[in-house]
Amino acid sequence: MLKTLSAQIKEYKKASILAPLFIVCEVIVELLIPFLMASIIDKGVANGNMKHVYLIGVTMVFMATCSLTFGVLSGKYAAKASTGFAKNLRKAMYENIQSFSFSNIDKYSTAGLVTRMTTDVTNVQNAYQMILRMCFRAPMMLIVALVMCITISPKLSLLLFIAVVFLGLCLFLIISNAHPIFMKVFEKYDDLNGSVQENVNAIRVVKAYVREDYEIKKFEKAADNVYKLFVKAESILSCNMPAMMLTVYACILGLSWFGANMIVGGELTTGQLVSLFSYIMNIMMSLMMLSMVFVMVTMAKASAERIAEVIEEKSDITNGENPDVDVKNGDIDFNNVNFAYKKGSKKYVLQDINLHIKSGETVGIIGGTGSSKSSLVNLISRLYDVSEGEVCVGGKDVRNYDIETLRNEVSVVLQKNVLFSGTIKENLRWGDKEATDEDIKRVCKLACADEFIELMPDKYDTY
C-alpha cells in the first residue's frame, strides 16, 4: 500500500523534502530561545547586567523572526506537496478506472468509487500534510528538548521519559481499537452516497410512485449508521486528550516539587528551572502533535487502503503479445461459449452458445429481462471475456485483437444513453472525434434531430 501511494508523489518530491527541512530549522531556532532565556535570568537580571539583557534580547527577537519565516515556508511547501499528492491520487484512480473491464467495474459500486475519489483522498491529503509538518516537527522538538533537559538536569529528565512511555502505550491502545471502526465507517459512506445517487438519478420514478417517505427513511437509516460508527470511533479517540492532560499536569507538578527542592539544595538555578518548564511544555506539545498525527493517520489508513485497492486493481482484459490490428470482415461466431460474471464460477448465465452471423446479416436476439441478451452482445466487443469457448470476429478470436482496434470496428448503440457535460457538438463527436460541423449537421438531419437543436440558444454549441 505505501509503495503504491508514495509512487504518486512524483513531481512534488521537492516540496515534500523542503517542508520538513524548514520545519527542522524552525524547531532548532525555537528550542534555543529558552536556553537564552536562562542566560538572561542568571547572568543578566540576577547580576544587574543590562547590557547582557539587551544583547541576548535582540538575539532572541532575531531568532524568533527566523523561526516565523521557517514556519511560513514549511507550511507553504507542505500545502503544495499534500494538495499535489491528492491530485495525483485522483488522477491515478481515474486513469485506472478507465482501463477497467465490466467485470472489474462490477466489483465496485459507483458510490464507492466516488467516495474513494473524494472523502478518502481528502483524508489522505490531510494526513500527508500533517505528517510532513508534525511528524518532523514533533520528534525533532521532542529529541532536542530532551537533550537540553538532560544537559540542564539529568535527574529531572527521568520524569519526561516516564511520561513518553505512558503516552506511547495510551496511543497504541487507542489506535488499535479505532482503526477497524473507521474501515466500517467508509463502507457505510458508500451506502450513503449510493442512496443519494439513486434518488437523484431516479427522482421522476420516486415522485411518480409517491415513494418520497420511503426514500427519506432509507436515507435516514444510512446516515444513522454513519453517525453511530463515527460516535463509536470518536469516543475511543477522545481518550487521547485526557491522557495527554494527565501527563502534562503530572509532569508540571513533579517538576515544580523536585525542582524547588533542588534549587534549595543548590543543585539547580532559577533560570535553569524556568528553562526546564519551557522545555517540558515543548515536549508535551510535541507529544500532543504526535497524538494528533496518530489520530489522523488512524482515520487516513482506512482511506489509504481503499485508494490503493483501486490503483492496484488490474484489468481482467488486456492485450496479448503482438495483437492483431486488422479486422478482416464483420463475420461473428460464438463457438461453444460459456460465460459467468464471476471469474472461476461454474454458475453460467450463458451456456453452450453456438451462433454464426455472416457479415451484412441482421439478427434479432429476443429474451426476457435478465436473460443475458446484453451480456451476449458485450462479449463481441470484449467488454467481458468468455469463461469457456471462443467468440470470433472476422474469423479470429476477439482475444487476439488489439482492444482499441476491435472496439473501433464494433459499433454499439446503447439502450441507456448518457449525455456528458459539454456542448451538443462535443457529445456528437463521441461517435467520430474527427467529424466536421457539416458531418454533424448531416447526421442530425438523418436522425431528425436537427429541428430541436436549431431551436437551442447556441444551436450545436449549446452546453
State the pLDDT confidence band at 47, using cuts at 50, 70 and 90. Answer: low
Q: What is the pLDDT of residues 61-108, one digit of tens each?
A: 888 888 888 888 988 998 999 999 999 999 988 888 888 777 777 777
Range of lowest pLDDT (117-131, 234-248, 334-348, 387-401): 234-248
Q: So what's the pLDDT on residue 107?
A: 75
CA dist 101 and 44 (Å) reads 76
CA dist 240 and 262 (Å) reads 33
State the pLDDT confidence band at 42, using cuts at 50, 70 and 90. Answer: low
Q: So what's the pLDDT on residue 38?
A: 64
Under a CB-based contact definition with an 8 Å cutoff, are residues 336 and 354 in contact? yes
Tell me the three-class secondary structure of the chain, residue by residue. CHHHHHCCCHHHHHHHHHHHHHHHHHHHHHHHHHHHHHHHHHHHHCCCCHHHHHHHHHHHHHHHHHHHHHHHHHHHHHHHHHHHHHHHHHHHHHHHHHCCCHHHHCCCCHHHHHHHHHHHHHHHHHHHHHHHHHHHHHHHHHHHHHHHHHHHCHHHHHHHHHHHHHHHHHHHHHHHHHHHHHHHHHHHHHHHHHHHHHHHHCHHHHHHCCCHHHHHHHHHHHHHHHHHHHHHHHHHHCCHHHHHHHHHHHHHHHHHHHHHHHHHCCCCCHHHHHHHHHHHHHHHHHHHHHHHHHHHHHHHHHHHHHHHHHHHCCCCCCCCCCCECCCCCCCEEEEEEEECCCCCCCCCCEEEEEEEECCCCCCCCCCCCCCCHHHHHHHHCCCCCCCEEEEEECCEEHHHECHHHHHHHCCCCCCCCCCCCCCHHHHHCCCCCCCCHHHHHHHHHHCCCHHHHHCCCCHHHCC
State the pLDDT confidence band at 424, using cuts at 50, 70 and 90. Answer: confident
Report the CATH number of the 2-312 domain.
Answer: 1.20.1560.10
Do the domains spanning 2-312 and 332-409 agree at the CATH topology level?
Answer: no
Q: So what's the pLDDT on residue 185?
A: 77
Q: Percent of the chain having pLDDT more than 70?
A: 96
Q: So what's the pLDDT on residue 2?
A: 77
Q: So what's the pLDDT on residue 301?
A: 80
CA dist 209 and 206 (Å) reads 6
State the pLDDT confidence band at 39, using cuts at 50, 70 and 90. Answer: low
CATH classification for the domain delimited by 332-409, as one of 3.40.190.10, 3.40.50.300, 1.20.1050.10, 3.40.50.720: 3.40.50.300
Would the pLDDT of 243 be above 70? Answer: yes
Mean pLDDT of the chain: 81
Domain boundaries, the chain: 2-312, 332-409, 424-461
Model pTM greater than 0.85? no
| End-to-end CA, the chain | 41
